[in-house]
């Protein structure tokens, strides 16, 4: 996860880009004139979403669409790239060609963004990252709002290290290869279980999907048998839910014969935790829309914004899930 703090100079540069972007949006034929968010005409925003791989993603998309509504002063051009990194970059290029006022990206993977972000900067269009981060220079985007994925992995790993004190064989269901949450959740977890009695016997990507989690878990069960696996660490709830299906199909009891830790705390995951099929969940809050919309307006108004806005996550065991479920918003 990137940790550099923006300099005052870079903030000023972003403000200048933003002001340029307002006129470029008006002239770029996007169908919506812009006044930079100070009232009147709509602000045209292109949002490049990852896809629709998980319950978390659905909640995030809904949060973004609600926040970037016409009532809130936005004309949103939405694109979901079906987890195809090249298609997502093409969508961002299309936003640049349309002359939008601002671009919001939930980057599928961390690498490969330098060229298109430079093109957006050259066109005077500010870029706001939401959810995931990129490895490109921070000078190429205005700000980022999201979660501390490494801390999420660390919290999951700390719970595992405290809970499993005898020899424990663990398999990992990784998120999308090259994505910030897959990279950082692995790092945070691995650091937290270092020196513990947990052994990672296998690790493969399930691409953050339920089907992916089920297929990979079926392979693990075939390879190691039910008795050869004590613990599953899933980088998100959907893959954990797929693993539950695979474990049950193999005649074992998820949450008892094979314990499960996951990340997200979406409704279906929390229900599985309440039912005892998952043993621990670290939250990843998808409700980032209002914060992203406020940042877009601030950037377009030339205001100074923090380079990073981190939304805090909680963690849940079975009792906490039962208590939280009635008021859960996603
Ligand atoms: O980037 C956040 C991750 O993306 C969520 O944990 C996962 O469910 C989603 O696909």
Q: Judge if the beta carbon of residue 210 lies within 6 A of ligand 1.
A: no
Q: What distance in angstroms lies between residue 60's CA and the mean position of ligand 1's atoms?
A: 9
- Note whether 312 and 146 are within 8 A (CB): no
19 and 90 share one domain: yes
The answer to the question of residue 321 being in a domain is no
Q: Atom of ligand 1 at shortest distance to CA of 180?
A: 1
186 within domain boundaries: yes
**Is 230 inside a domain boundary?**
yes
Q: Is residue 322 part of a domain?
A: no
C-beta of residue 311 within 8 angstroms of C-beta of residue 146: yes
Q: What's the token pair of residue 228?
A: 């050869």
CB distance 279 to 273 below 8 Å: yes
294 and 237 in one domain?
Answer: no
* Angle between helix 237-249 and 210-224 (nearest 10): 40
Mark whether 295 and 247 lie in a shared domain: no
The answer to whether position 92 is within a domain reads: yes
Same domain, 25 and 140: yes
Measured in Å, residue 4 CA sits from the centre of ligand 1 at 23
Tell whether 280 and 291 lie within a shared domain.
Answer: no
Instruction: State whether 192 and 132 are in the same domain.
Output: no
> Quick one: 272 and 294 in the same domain?
no
CATH number at residue 126: 3.40.50.2300
Per-residue pLDDT of the chain (330 residues; tens, 9 = 90+): 333 333 333 333 333 333 333 333 322 333 333 433 344 599 999 999 999 999 999 999 999 999 999 999 999 999 999 999 999 999 999 999 999 999 999 999 999 999 999 999 999 999 999 999 999 999 999 999 999 999 999 999 999 999 999 999 999 999 999 999 999 999 999 999 999 999 999 999 999 999 999 999 999 999 999 999 999 999 999 999 999 999 999 999 999 999 999 999 999 999 999 999 999 999 999 999 999 999 999 999 999 999 999 999 899 999 999 999 999 999
Alpha-carbon distance values, 150 to 102, 235, 236 (Å): 28, 11, 13
Q: Evaluate whether 174 touches 235 at the Cβ level (below 8 Å).
A: yes
Q: Give how many domains the chain has, as a whole number.
A: 2
Structure tokens at 265: 């705390």
Whether the full predicted model's pTM is greater than 0.85, yes or no, is: yes
Domain extent at residue 194: 149-284
């Amino acid at each position: 996860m990137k940790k550099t703090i923006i300099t005052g100079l870079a903030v000023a540069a972003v403000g200048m880009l933003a002001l340029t972007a307002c006129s470029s949006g008006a002239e770029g034929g996007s169908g919506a004139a812009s006044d930079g968010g100070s009232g009147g005409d709509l602000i045209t925003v292109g949002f490049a979403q990852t896809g629709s791989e998980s319950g978390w993603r659905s909640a995030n998309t809904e949060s973004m669409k609600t926040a970037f509504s016409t009532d809130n002063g936005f004309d949103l051009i939405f694109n979901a790239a079906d987890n195809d990194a090249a298609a997502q970059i093409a969508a961002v290029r299309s936003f640049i060609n349309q002359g939008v006022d601002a671009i919001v990206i939930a980057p599928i993977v961390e690498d490969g963004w330098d060229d298109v972000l430079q093109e957006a900067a050259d066109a005077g269009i500010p870029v706001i990252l939401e959810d995931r981060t990129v490895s490109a220079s921070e000078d190429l985007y205005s700000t980022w709002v999201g979660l501390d994925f490494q801390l999420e992995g660390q919290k999951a790993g700390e719970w595992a290290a405290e809970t499993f004190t005898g020899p424990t064989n663990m398999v990992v269901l990784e998120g999308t290869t090259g994505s910030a949450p897959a990279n950082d959740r692995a790092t945070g977890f691995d650091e937290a279980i270092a020196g513990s009695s947990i052994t990672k016997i296998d690790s493969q990507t399930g691409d953050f999907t339920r089907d992916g989690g089920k297929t990979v878990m079926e392979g693990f069960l075939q390879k190691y048998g039910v008795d050869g696996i004590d613990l599953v660490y899933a980088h998100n709830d959907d893959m954990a839910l797929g693993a539950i299906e695979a474990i049950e199909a193999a005649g074992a009891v998820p949450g008892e014969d094979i314990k499960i830790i996951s990340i997200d705390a979406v409704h279906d995951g929390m229900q599985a935790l309440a039912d005892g099929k998952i043993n621990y969940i670290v939250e990843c809050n998808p409700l980032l829309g209002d914060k992203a919309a406020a940042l877009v307006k601030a950037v377009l108004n030339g205001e100074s914004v923090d380079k990073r806005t981190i939304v805090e996550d909680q963690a849940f065991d079975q009792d906490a899930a039962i208590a939280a479920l009635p008021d859960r918003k996603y």
